[in-house]
Amino acid sequence: IIKACIFDLDGVIVDTAKYHYLAWNRLANELGFEFSIEHNERLKGVSRMTSLDILLEVGGLTYSNAEKVVMAARKNEWYLEYIYKMTPDEILPGVISFLTMLREKGIKISLGSASKNAMLILERVQLQSFFDAVIDGNKALKAKPDPQVFLLAAQELNENPTNCVVFEDAAAGIEAALAAGMKCIGIGSPEILGRADKVVPGFENANIELIKF
């Protein structure tokens, strides 16, 4: 029986992937190439530094660690310009009513995100009050598909992993949830998220049946 729901942030609650893409492509352009949108799928759910490594691989470029730290920081500054402008209108359809329903049923709620900016984003879209725990890229140091982020969420909620379900839009996140011994619901397309226990396009019309297995 499910007692806790753990939500990924980017691609599940809000679509910040578009802002990550704009900021990464700005960096790519500065380095002299175009980071096409088709490559963006590979950045979903993976850490900032891994994203940079993928970007540089696409561009066929190699830099030292020190240079990469500077590049990642610049990208983040551009990304934050978009994040500061976010409003609650950007919460994906059906999310607020689904979270409200979970609260009413007494199901615990946590965030499980790779982003170091997760708290800021929750504040911008005014969703912090729904979350009993927030595990983000500052607390979980091992990147998905490592299960650490979700295991820390279960621990903070004081729940057994087998009573938790994870909502994820990225293949790396599905693998992390399965490795944590949790149920997993993919948000997006079955072609990418086929390993999840269930896949739905989003939270529109979602009700308690979704978390019954």
Q: Which of 10, 15, 146, 197 is catalytic?
A: 10
Phi, then psi, of 199 in degrees rounded to 5: -130, 130
C-alpha span between 119 and 187 (Å, rounded): 21
Q: Which is nearer to ligand G16, 170 or 196 (CB)?
A: 170
C-alpha span between 176 and 144 (Å, rounded): 6
| Two structure tokens written together for 40 | 């963006």
CB of residue 194 to ligand G16, shortest distance in Å: 18
User: In the range 80-99, which residues lie near ligand G16 by CB under 6 A?
Assistant: none
Q: Could you tell me which stretch among 29-37, 42-50, 126-134, 197-205 binds ligand G16 (CB under 6 A)?
A: 42-50
Number of residues that bind ligand G16 (CB under 6 A): 20
CB of residue 105 to Mg ion, shortest distance in Å: 24
Q: Does 175 bind Mg ion (CB under 5 A)?
A: no
Q: Does 10 bind Mg ion (CB under 5 A)?
A: yes
76 is in an annotated binding site: no
Residue where the block lists tokens 């396009």: 201
Number of residues that bind Mg ion (CB under 5 A): 6
C-alpha span between 121 and 134 (Å, rounded): 12
DSSP string, 117-176: THHHHHHHTT-GGG-SEEE-TTT--SPTTSTHHHHHHHHHHT--GGGEEEEESSHHHHHH
Q: Which does 175 bind (CB under 5 to 8 A by kind): Mg ion, ligand G16, none?
A: none
Q: Does the active-site annotation cover 53? A: no
Q: Does the active-site annotation cover 10? A: yes
Active site residues: 8, 10
